[in-house]
Amino acid sequence: MADLRNDFVGIKSPNPFWLASAPPTDKAYNVERAFKAGWGGVVWKTLGEEGPPVVNVNGPRYGAIWGADRRLLGLNNIELITDRDLYVNLREMKQVKMNWPDRALVASIMVPCEEESWKAILPLVEETGADGIELNFGCPHGMSERGMGAAVGQVPEYIEMVVRWCKQYTRMPVITKLTPNITDIRKPARAAKAGGTDAVSLINTINSIVSVDLDNFAPNPTVGGKGTHGGYCGPAVKPIALNMVAEIARDPETYGLPISGIGGITTWRDAAEFMALGAGNVQVCTAAMTYGFKIVQEMITGLSNWMDAKGHRTLDDIVARAVPNVTDWQYLNLNYIAKARIDQDACIKCGRCHIACEDTSHQAITQFVDGVRHFEVMEDECVGCNLCVNVCPVENCITMVGLEAGTLDQRTGKPVDPTYANWTTHPNNPMARQAAE
């Protein structure tokens, strides 16, 4: 059996699946249920400083994007950090940690960008027995207008400054949560590392308006006739999150910095992809809000079965395995050639491949042969773009096949040389140069 035990910057948990800081981790009741269901850890919903309470809207807080089958693809929220009393949260965190000593419990924190505010709250959190803290530099709505959340996360100098304060005033591991609402994710990651952070987590939610109510002409969710931008999450943001995780994992200045991956993780496969691109563990929110806490059981079983089948014994066997294969476009092998192949037995003759190729690509798929409806790839016109693969409604009906070395490419008339450029040892790869030195 694969060993799913996770050690993330010294924070141990029985598996790499944590709940992210969000509504599912707002109180002891939820967290206890999550741990009973099998979650390896939680990041408690973001705590604010002692003082006037945070007030959330008492109306719609979520907007959504659905697929054709009404499967939830993206969720937009305008909810703020916890509106529960700080000391109530702290007492509950302490009790939960006592009840579940083998599970990871991390406190998410957001207070004003002032040294005294951070210095005051850190000992209170430390007293709960929490395993670590996560600095919320990502929240894009509500709190950012008050000079917190993404307002800090978008300024590398602020990130470095606050991380230094936290490393000075607490013994706990510090995880810095980054905002995706920035041009280059590497810059805040570098700043966090310069400040001494133990790890980064990403991505937080993406600034968004998901839809407009065309009867009231206001953004959804609409509160009393008005709407606002919110934070976008769910399966739709996964590609953005994967890219940002990979950017940090392969950046020479942040190479080796532990990463907690967040963003649209719904299945064990999603989690494995994040870990392959450098994440040491993963955090989940929208999937739990959509399907309930027991979804983690499918994640645990699926990841374990896949690792067993592939011969991976521990999580270390897969973490960052894909990073050397992430490169810049200029290093792709332009001599590699692949062609589409249609499985005629699986083809349902819908014609989507043909019309997509005919109207928007390279006119490489037939529609009729001898007057009979028939779809087949014309190799001399196919450029291997794989648009047909992506629009085909039948899985594995159309596949891409790489041509062997020496094969004559009918389109160019030149022999094929499909040898991949070895980016792992490429002299322009900064990590390769660093390793050589």
What's residue 262's pLDDT?
Answer: 97
Residues 198 and 173 sit within 8 Å (Cβ to Cβ): yes
Domain 337-401 adopts which CATH fold?
Alpha-Beta Plaits (3.30.70)
pTM of the model: 0.90
DSSP 206-230: EEE--EEETTTTEEESPBTTB---E
Tell me which amino acid residue 429 is.
N
What's residue 81's pLDDT?
Answer: 86
Q: How far from 144 is each of 4, 312, 414, CA to CA, in Å? A: 37, 42, 57
**Residue 334 has what DSSP assignment?**
T
Mention every residue, 6+ apart, whose C-beta is less than 8 A from residue 263: 202, 203, 233, 237, 238, 240, 241, 242, 274
Locate tokens 């705590």: which residue?
A: 47
Q: Domain segments of the chain: what residues?
A: 6-325, 337-401
Residues 294 and 37 sit within 8 Å (Cβ to Cβ): yes
Neighbour-count burial of 240, counting CB atoms closer than 10 A to its CB (0-12 exposed, 13-18 middle, 19+ buried): middle
DSSP 289-310: HHH-TTHHHHHHHHHHHHHHHH
Residues 375 and 353 sit within 8 Å (Cβ to Cβ): yes
Tell me which amino acid residue 325 is.
N
Compute the distance between CA of residue 364 and CA of residue 195 in angstroms, rounded to an integer.
54
CA 281 to chain centroid, in Å, comes to: 11
**pLDDT tens-place values along the chain, 437 residues long:** 899 999 999 999 999 999 999 999 999 999 999 999 999 999 999 998 887 778 778 778 888 889 988 998 988 887 878 889 999 999 999 999 999 999 999 999 999 889 999 999 999 999 999 999 999 997 776 566 666 777 888 899 999 999 999 999 999 999 999 999 999 999 999 999 999 999 999 999 899 999 999 999 999 888 888 888 888 899 999 999 999 999 999 999 999 999 999 999 999 999 999 999 999 999 999 999 999 999 999 999 999 999 999 999 999 999 999 999 999 988 888 878 899 999 999 999 999 999 999 999 999 999 998 889 999 999 889 999 999 999 999 999 999 998 876 666 666 666 665 544 444 455 545 555 555 55
| Per-residue tokens: 288 | 């739990």
Q: How far apart are the first and last CA of the chain?
A: 39
Q: Find the catalytic residue in 113, 139, 166, 353.
A: 139
With CA atoms as reference, report the closest residue to 328 among 240, 430, 256, 192.
430
166 carries an active-site annotation: no
Helix segments in 43-85, DSSP class H: none
CATH superfamily assigned to domain 6-325: Aldolase class I (3.20.20.70)
Residues 295 and 288 sit within 8 Å (Cβ to Cβ): yes
Q: Tell me if 6-325 shares its fold with 337-401.
A: no
CA 324 to chain centroid, in Å, comes to: 19
